[in-house]
């Protein structure tokens, strides 16, 4: 049965890669300019791109480890399927397969780079690397008046639309067809599809909205009302940090902290505390989280303490193995294998077992109830956080070994509140009972003395 599945996968992957595109090996990586060549005229744009997730798309250690595991377990069938969007020049030039850096030219190692994107001349659809490229030396882009002494220039409407991003930012399993990544589709089916393109958020200074960036696209070009930035910032602060780009790391953290809001309400009923948390996706035009959704995690952490600082309730903490409390409210996706068991190996995925991620503009309301211990000194403080990390510890342990790599936890949003303990500052029942007893004894003693 496994052999049949692998054969079907091989056939479908081959069909996907050959449909409407250049046959692998028909061009050479030397047909593309190294990004440092582009830097000569587009220095600012080059510096924005350098260190981005596009620049390190293939050298990303998490991607490489996952791709190498997939290659081993599928006898290499996933090599070009995954690499097509992570090193498109490497695949088009036939340098991949095999997976790894050994056979790659320096240009192919530079992931999603300038000359590749600006050589894309057509899209054959959405997802799975549905791009076509031309090596005619004409660079396509968003301007209709560009002139260069080095290359030809042409306006491309495709480069201004989300469909350009959708060629790679949707990934469907080649056999089962289930969505492995669906960032474009999430946007397309959401409330921003008629007003906001991917480029409006991810290629302008505005963190979660369009903001004009006046300036020049090149040192010899005209002044423009808006020049698209090329930081390509998403939520991956972990890998950009590991790869040494503090700029992209801090920008990713800032974006995460602008994507959602958290509101907190708390009260006490009888001897029970009730906490209501409202989480709203205010800044992402897609689900929260998105991308490699089987690895990404967003969750609520609640920490409650009494007036002395003693913890009386905690939900959403990490255990000794780095896993999120199983009772926490966790927003994520779970893929299922052929037996219906959860799997983080996307090549094994045959179903989606669970998906409770937050839609654009959606508000989720979560409630927490717990008993207040007797004799507790108030007021009670409540600290609520919305946390994010790029990958679960289990996912990283499987790739790199137990504890070898730890993804940082980033606080996306937070709120604090207090719960007043009824009767605070007034003697409680036990105190009143003792006082009354003492008064009765004193009264009886005085009567006896008389």
CATH of the domain at 308: 2.60.40.10
Task: Give the pLDDT confidence score for residue 10 in this predicted structure.
Answer: 44
Q: Are 193 and 292 within one domain?
A: no
Task: Give the pLDDT confidence score for residue 434 in this predicted structure.
Answer: 46
* Count of domains observed in the chain: 2
Q: Are 145 and 209 within one domain?
A: yes
Domain housing 160: 2-232
Task: Give the pLDDT confidence score for residue 428 in this predicted structure.
Answer: 42
Query: Which of residues 232, 249, 281 is at a domain's end?
Result: 232
Q: Are 266 and 227 within one domain?
A: no
Q: Are 12 and 151 within one domain?
A: yes
Residue 238 lies in a domain: no
Residue 125 lies in a domain: yes
Task: Give the pLDDT confidence score for residue 271 in this predicted structure.
Answer: 84
Q: Are 298 and 170 within one domain?
A: no
Q: Are 286 and 206 within one domain?
A: no
Q: How far is CA 170 from CA 90, 133, 293, 388, 393, in A?
A: 20, 19, 12, 22, 25
Q: Are 217 and 301 within one domain?
A: no
- Block residue for tokens 């255990």: 319
Residue 109 lies in a domain: yes
Q: Are 118 and 194 within one domain?
A: yes
Residue 441 lies in a domain: no
Residue 250 lies in a domain: no
Task: Give the pLDDT confidence score for residue 160 in this predicted structure.
Answer: 97
Q: Are 157 and 206 within one domain?
A: yes
Q: Are 297 and 197 within one domain?
A: no
Task: Give the pLDDT confidence score for residue 303 in this predicted structure.
Answer: 97
Task: Give the pLDDT confidence score for residue 437 in this predicted structure.
Answer: 56
CA distance 315 to 56: 36
* pTM (predicted TM-score): 0.88
Q: Are 224 and 266 within one domain?
A: no
Residue 248 lies in a domain: no
Q: Are strands 138-141 and 152-155 parallel, antiparallel or unpaired?
A: parallel
Residue 348 lies in a domain: yes
Task: Give the pLDDT confidence score for residue 13 in this predicted structure.
Answer: 45
Task: Give the pLDDT confidence score for residue 374 in this predicted structure.
Answer: 80
Task: Give the pLDDT confidence score for residue 23 in this predicted structure.
Answer: 53
Where the chain has pLDDT below 50, the residues are 1-21, 425-435, 440-441, 445
Residue 8 lies in a domain: yes
Q: Are 271 and 221 within one domain?
A: no
């Amino acid at each position: 049965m496994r052999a049949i599945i692998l054969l079907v996968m091989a056939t479908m992957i081959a069909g996907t890669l050959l449909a409407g595109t250049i046959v692998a090996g028909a061009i050479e990586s030397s047909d593309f300019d190294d990004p440092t060549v582009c830097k000569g005229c587009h220095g600012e744009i080059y510096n924005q791109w350098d260190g981005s997730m596009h620049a390190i798309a293939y050298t990303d250690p998490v991607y490489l480890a996952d791709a190498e595991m997939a290659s081993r377990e599928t006898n290499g069938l996933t090599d070009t399927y995954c690499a097509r969007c992570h090193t498109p020049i490497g695949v088009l030039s036939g340098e991949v397969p095999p997976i790894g850096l050994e056979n790659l030219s320096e240009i192919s190692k530079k992931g999603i780079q300038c000359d590749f994107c600006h050589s894309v001349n057509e899209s054959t659809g959405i997802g799975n690397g549905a791009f076509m490229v031309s090596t005619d030396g004409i660079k396509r882009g968003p301007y209709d008046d560009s002139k260069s002494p080095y290359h030809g220039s042409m306006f491309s409407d495709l480069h201004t639309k989300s469909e350009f991003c959708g060629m790679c930012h949707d990934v469907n399993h080649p056999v089962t067809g289930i969505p492995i990544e669906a960032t474009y589709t999430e946007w397309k089916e959401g409330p921003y599809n008629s007003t906001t393109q991917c480029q409006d958020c991810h290629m302008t200074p505005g963190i979660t909205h369009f903001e004009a960036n006046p300036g020049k696209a090149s040192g010899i070009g005209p002044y423009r009302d808006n020049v698209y930035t090329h930081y390509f910032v998403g939520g991956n602060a972990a890998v950009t940090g590991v790869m040494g780009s503090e700029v992209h790391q801090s920008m990713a953290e800032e974006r995460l902290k602008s994507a959602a809001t958290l509101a907190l309400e708390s009260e006490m009923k009888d001897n029970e505390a009730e906490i209501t948390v409202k989480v709203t996706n205010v800044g992402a035009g897609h689900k929260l989280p998105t991308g490699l959704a089987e690895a990404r995690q967003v969750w609520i952490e609640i920490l409650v303490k009494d007036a002395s600082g003693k913890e009386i309730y905690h939900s959403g903490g990490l255990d000794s193995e780095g896993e999120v409390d199983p009772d926490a409210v966790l927003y994520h996706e779970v893929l299922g294998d052929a037996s219906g068991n959860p799997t983080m190996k996307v090549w094994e995925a045959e179903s989606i077992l669970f998906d409770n991620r937050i839609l654009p503009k959606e508000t989720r309301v979560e409630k927490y109830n717990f008993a207040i211990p007797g004799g507790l000194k108030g007021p009670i403080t409540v600290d609520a956080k919305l946390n994010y990390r790029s990958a679960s510890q289990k996912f990283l342990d499987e790739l790199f070994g137990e504890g070898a790599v730890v993804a940082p936890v980033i606080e996306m949003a937070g709120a604090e509140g207090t719960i007043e303990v009824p009767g605070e500052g007034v003697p409680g029942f036990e105190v009143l009972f003792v006082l009354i007893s003492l008064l009765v004894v004193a009264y009886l003693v005085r009567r006896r003395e008389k």
